[in-house]
A and B are shown apart, each in its own frame.
Chain A
Amino acid sequence: MPNIVVLVKQVPDTYSERKLASADHTLDRASADAVLDEINERAVEEALQIKEAQGGEVTVLTVGPERATDAIRKALSMGADKAVHVSDESLHGADIIQTAKVLAKAIGTVEGYDLIIAGNESTDGVGGAIPAMLAELLGLPQLTHARKVEIDGTSVKVERETDAGRTFLEAALPAVISVGEKINDPRYPSFKGIMAAKKKPVTTLTIADLGIDASEVGLANAASQVLESAPKPPRAAGQQITDEGDGGSKIAEYLVSQKLI
């Protein structure tokens, strides 16, 4: 009966226009629709599949501003049992290391966890380092980039996918795993799940509750600073060529000019 903690994050919808705030180069949360990151839906799905097969409990954990409750509710409506939400103004602009420290402390509030599941990287920061840092901070084995996960009482086996090939890993529980795109297809919540989510317990914590001082976190205390940022240049309009019987050779000429053929 594994006790599973799933890390979730609310991110700007990849379909909407994503920007950084001009004042401090942090994420402009107001400019885009906020959603539960898709890779986290897969992490939740994996936890739910394990729970459905073996029992246990699924806790979702997020660090984020107040409106991250929407992302929590989505995970709960999919079927997770409860949630921990670390919300604190002083975390604005926190870097990856600070976030990992906060997550590690928050995981400490979940009694008797066996497995921590994260997505391999978020679609906003794309740091991809949290699972490894967290494992380091908690002194746990890390089995990252999983495309398949098997739990067996006291151990976890993971099939890892890399560009070079597949690696088969095994570790004793408790452990930290991160999942990739191919792990599963996340379910849709059901309306019953949506109704049930409202009644599930959500514990909201500040960093003081976790024994962290405000001077250790936030933009001012981050290990690195964003000095400047510029939006991606708009895509240039394509070149249109009218086919006057020589369309084929025009395409070939273009490909040659781009050194593609």
Chain B
Amino acid sequence: MAVERLLPDTEAEDLIALARDIAANELAPKAGEYEEKELFPREQFRLLGRSGLLGLPYPERWGGGGVSYEVYLQVLEEIAAAWMTVGVGLSVHTMSCYALAEYGTDSQRDEWLPDMLGGDLLGAYALSETHAGSDAAALSTRAVLDGPDYVVTGTKAWITHGGQADFYTTMVRTSPDGGRGISCLLVPADTPGLSASAPERKMGMTASTTAQMIFDGARVSTGRRLGEEGIGLKIALSALNSGRLGIAACAVGLAQAALDEAVRYAKERSQFGRSIIEFQGMEFLLADMAAAVESARATYLEAARRRDRGLPFKRQASIAKLVATDAAMKVTTDAVQVLGGAGYTKDFPVERYMREAKVPQIFEGTNQIQRMVIARELRNKA
């Protein structure tokens, strides 16, 4: 069932219609098979690029769509509802463009941004390392100046699109100065000395490649540093504030897909001589699922509207990510319950949705980190 959305104008309505069209005809029919066979949907991302969906919330001057976060996130939700791997990939790509769009010089933006926003290049965001996850400031991948280049050595971990992406927005250590010793580099995929490890073998989102990226004396021109030396962590965390909104929208899409499947099944499935949707036990379960989906959507939209108005939205983004991803975990789990034994089989998509819902509680800041962000804001503002 199509989600009823209050959109600001006909452009936004047509954009949502385009996203639904692509989602229904190009994404949803392929999702099950690609996830099962662990095939990366590179061609589907190219289609998003050709359709102008890879740079929606960025300025038109550099090939973006000039769309508000309120609208972009709803497009993302529609895509994720059809195929979580593609939704999360779109969100990650969008986040990987953030450092250049916000912190690059005009000449850097003129040179690289149009292909990242308006073309069909795919991006990745490389912050985490094996021993620097939640404690990102502890990262140790080193970039040492050597003439016009940085020579980069170290291993970035848990990289969505690792080995598939065309560029890597990479946080590296340029001085031993803790959180203030980190810088941000825009690294092209074909940089000599850069390679991907074998992909991780994951519980869900198996079509999305996650790998380590190994920098072995990789030379990256200093002209590819985004922002000043030492502000890399600030850039990374700022990118994550917006990225978390993307993850919240994806989680809502996933939860909506699970709810739709559960309602469809509960109407068709008959026990004791009537549709199981008529039993109060089922009604309450489905009503709670719908309440979780819609309240999570309202939460990310509120945060997005704050961002669009230039208001602080860090706490609201963390709340949206926390609420939406926890809602997705609960709703997808309950969808399996509604379908009963059928839901536990791979003949229906809800068991996959349930596996896919777990990782949004973990990536782009675990939900425990989100609580820390929220609490810190409460403490500092009081």
Contacts and interface: CB of A to CB of B under 8 A. Distances in A.
Nearest to A35: B17
B70 to A, nearest CB: 16
Chain B interface main SS type: helix
B53 interface: yes
A192 B53 CA distance: 10
Contact of B52 (A74, A192, A198): A192
A213 B118 CA distance: 50
B14 interface: yes
Interface stretch (A103-111, A130-138, A183-191): A183-191
B21 A191 contact: no
A198 B51 contact: no
B198 interface: no
Contact of A73 (B10, B47, B52): B10
A194 B47 contact: no
A14 to B, nearest CB: 13
Given A188-B47, A188-B51, A194 B21 contact: no
Interface string B1-31: 0000000001100110110011000000000
Given A189-B18, A191-B15, A191-B65, A198 B10 contact: yes
Q: Interface residue tally of chain A, by bracket?
A: 10 to 19
A188 B56 contact: no
Interface string A126-165: 0000000000000000000000000000000000000000
Contacts of B51: 188-191
Interface string B27-61: 00000000000000000000100111100100000
A188 B50 CA distance: 9
B50 A191 contact: no
Given A191-B51, A198-B10, 9 more contacts: A73-B10, A74-B17, A77-B18, A188-B47, A188-B50, A191-B65, A193-B52, A194-B18, A198-B11
15 contacts: A73-B10, A73-B14, A77-B14, A77-B18, A188-B51, A189-B18, A189-B51, A190-B52, A191-B51, A191-B56, A191-B65, A191-B67, A192-B52, A194-B15, A195-B65
Interface of B: 10-11, 14-15, 17-18, 21-22, 47, 50-53, 56, 65, 67
